[in-house]
Amino acid sequence: MDLFSPDEHDLIVELMNLGVGRAAHALSQLVNDEVLLSVPRLEFISVPEAQEAFRKDLPPFLAGVLQDFEGFISGRAALLFPEARSLELVNAMIGEELSADEITELEQETLAELGNILLNHCLATLANQLKQQVKTDIPRAFNSSVSELPCNLNLSANDPNNTLVMLVQIDFSLRHSALRGYLAFVIDLQSADSFLLALREYLAELL
């Protein structure tokens, strides 16, 4: 999607990097250990492209955290993992050995907070750096098959022509675990206008 110019794209990546870096800092303080998170790839795709990308790139079963946001951009954000490895991440965070196959209530909650910290930092950094406001709802952990994912992300409820998906691939490395997850921001295109405006204002000061 050519909605954003290369500079605008670059700016978003940079702001995502900032947000993720701060989230890594916040997480490392919670777990008293180094947490490395990297953002190697970011792409903007349409709803049909997103559905195609999910089917292709993601494992059949996913665990994740959802969080709604509203402000200069509005929509729903998600952190997605292969289902089994989400547990690995939680266990690495709390320093426990791998537990049962099933994720427990407490682990579900820990995963939700992990997503909460990441998504909040990304959204807050976007908003703060662009001198805008965003409000987030509380996080919800979920498990789903890849075919149910569009429903979880609210993709189908929105008008596909009015929705934009920002997909960010993110690599986690903490303690002895290294795994890859995705951040998906499903952005309501009506709010994408104010997003674009904010990006352009920021760039206008630089360029």
Partner 1 sequence: MTDSTPLNILLVDDSRIARLTMKHMLQSLEMSLNLLEAGSADEAETVLSTEHADIALIDFNMPGRDGLELAAVITERYPHIRMALVTANIQDALAQRARDLGMEFLPKPASVEQLGAFIRQDT
Partner 2 sequence: MLNSSDAIATSLDDILDNIDCTELLHSLDGGVLLLDRQCRIVFCNRWIAQHIGLPEKDLLGRTLAQLFPGMLTPALQSAIEDACLNRMGRLLSYQLHKRLLPLKQRTAKGELGALHQSILLRPLTQSELTLVQVQDITNAVKREQHLRASERVLRLERKVLESIATGDNMEDVLAEICYTIERLIPNSNSAILLLNEDGKSLSVRSAPSLPAQFLHRQRGLSMGPGGTTCIQSIQHRALVVSPNLMEDEAWQPLIEEIKRTNISACWAQPIIAAYEEPLGVLACYPQQPAQPNETDKLLLQRMSNLAAITLERHKRIERIRFLAMHDPLTGLPNRSLLNELLGRNLRRACREGNKFALMFIDLDGFKEINDQHGHDAGDDLLSILSGRMTDQLRGTDTCARIGGDEFVVMLETVQSVQAIESVAQKILTAMSTPVQRGQMQLQVSASIGVAIYPEDGMSADALLTQADDAMYKAKSAGKNCWQSASDLGSEQ
Neighbours of 201 (CB within 10 A): 12
Length of the chain: 207
- Shortest separation between residue 145's beta carbon and partner 1, angstroms: 32
Candidate list 30, 45, 84, 203; residue touching partner 1; CB under 8 A: 203
- Shortest separation between residue 11's beta carbon and partner 1, angstroms: 4
The C-alpha angle 1, 39, 192, rounded to 5 degrees, equals 35
138 near partner 2, rule: CB under 8 A: yes
Nearest one of 97, 127, 103, 116 to 27, comparing CA atoms? 116
Candidate list 4, 24, 110, 152; residue touching partner 1; CB under 8 A: 24
Candidate list 14, 137, 193, 201; residue touching partner 1; CB under 8 A: 14
- Shortest separation between residue 205's beta carbon and partner 1, angstroms: 8
100 near partner 2, rule: CB under 8 A: yes
103 near partner 1, rule: CB under 8 A: no
Residue 124 binding result from partner 1, partner 2, none, given CB thresholds of 5 to 8 Å by partner type:
partner 2
Instruction: Give Cβ neighbours of residue 69 (< 8 Å, ≥ 6 apart).
Output: 75, 76, 77, 119, 123, 134, 135, 136, 137
- Shortest separation between residue 147's beta carbon and partner 1, angstroms: 32
Tokens (6 digits) for 203:
């760039």
Q: Is 106 helix (H, G, I), strand (E, B) or coil?
A: helix
What is the pattern of x (binds partner 2, CB under 8 A) and - over residues 143-182? ----------------------------------------
Q: Are 80 and 150 in contact (CB under 8 A)?
A: no
DSSP string, 38-105: EEEEEEEEEHHHHHHHHHHHS-SEEEEEEEEEEESS-EEEEEEEEHHHHHHHHHHHHTPPP--SSPPH
The residue ranges that bind partner 2 (CB under 8 A) are: 29-31, 67, 70, 90, 93-94, 96, 99-100, 104-107, 109-110, 112-113, 116, 120, 123-124, 133-139
The residue ranges that bind partner 1 (CB under 8 A) are: 7, 10-11, 13-14, 17-22, 24-25, 28, 33-40, 129, 203, 205-207
